[in-house]
Amino acid sequence: MNCILNTNEQEELLLGYCTAILDPETTRTYKRHLASCEHCRTMVELQKMVDESLGDWLPPTLSENFDQKLFARIRAEQEAPKPWWHFNFGWKPAIPLALAAILLAVFLVREPGKSELAQQQDGIKADEIAEVEKALDDMEALQALSTADTAPAAKESI
């Protein structure tokens, strides 16, 4: 028989043998193998030592009202108000916030700097006057073409 430590079933066989849950035929076969395989004998002995140690281990004793205390503490933690960063808002509320931020940014870009009232206090700037006059020049020139139908010669021109 090949050494069980070289097979896939090594763990099940070893544990099964140590806890005496193998069927009689497998137990006999494994015993025969142990007689000739020192490596497996060592593993069985180590496993037995572990089992014995676990048998000797005693869990710490709990106080009588341990469960009561535990549940009281859990309840207290559940009922205590959570700090805001513990709330799970999800991502959906972020959409209106992002839209509001964009609107604000657009508004600030459209109206940079001072408010209309503040600009009114200061009066119109020279370059702004030039802009107004230029716009009026252009619009007057364009208007002259748009109102040509009022001229008597317009209709016969072409």
Partner 1 sequence: MRGILLLFLLAFPLYAQDANSPGLQLIERLNRMTPAERQKMLNRMPPARRQMLEKRINNFNNIRPEAREKLKKDYEFFQQLPPEKRDDARRTLKQIADLPEERRKLVRGAVHNLRRQPDEIRDRRLASRAFNERFNEDERKLIREALAVLPPQAEPTQQ
Residues that bind partner 1 (CB under 8 A): 95, 98-99, 102-103, 106, 109-110, 116, 119-121, 123-124, 128-129, 131-149, 151-158
Closest CB 87 distance from partner 1, rounded Å: 23
Alpha helices in 37-125 (DSSP H): 38-56, 66-79, 94-110, 116-122
Sign of CA dihedral 138, 139, 142, 148: negative
Nearer to partner 1, 58 or 158 (CB): 158
Q: In angstroms, give the least distance from the CB of 114 to partner 1.
A: 13
Nearest approach, Cβ of residue 107 and partner 1 (Å)? 9
Which residue lies nearer to partner 1 by CB, 62 or 101?
Answer: 101
- Tell me which DSSP letter residue 2 carries: -
Q: Which is nearer to partner 1, 62 or 144 (CB)?
A: 144
Cα 79 to Cα 3, 87, 148: the distances in Å are: 59, 14, 81
**How long a stretch of residues is the chain?**
158
The residue (of 11 and 131) whose beta carbon lies closer to partner 1 is: 131
Q: What is the dihedral of CA 63, 67, 71, 73, to 10 degrees?
A: 10
Q: CB of residue 99 vs partner 1: minimum separation in angstroms?
A: 6
Closer to partner 1 by Cβ: residue 49 or 144:
144
Residue 34 is inside which H or E element, if any?
helix 24-36
CB count in 10 Å sphere of residue 43: 19
- Rounded-to-integer distance, Cα 108 and Cα 114, Å: 10
Q: How far is the CB of 68 from partner 1 (least distance, A)?
A: 51
